[in-house]
Amino acid sequence: MVQAEDTIVTTLENLFRKYSLQLFISALAVTGCPERAEDAVQEAFYRLFRLEHKPQHLKAYVFRCVRNAALDQLERNRPVEIKDDEFIFDSSERPAETAERNEFRQEVVQAMKTLSDDEREIVISHVYAGLRFREIAKAREMSINTIWSWYRRGMEKLRRQLESKL
- Measure Cα distances from 52 to 1, 2, 7, 62, 144 in Å: 9, 10, 11, 14, 29
The pLDDT score that the predictor gives to residue 142 is: 93
Does domain 99-164 match CATH 3.40.1550.10? no
Domain ranges in the chain are 2-76, 99-164
R_g (Cα) of the chain, nearest Å: 17
Torsion of CA 53, 58, 9, 121, to 10 degrees: -130
Q: What is the pLDDT of residues 98-133, one digit of tens each?
A: 667 777 778 888 888 899 999 999 998 898 888 899
Q: What is the pLDDT of residues 15-51, one digit of tens each?
A: 899 999 999 998 988 888 889 999 999 999 998 888 8
Question: Do 31 and 74 form a contact (C-beta atoms < 8 A)?
Answer: yes
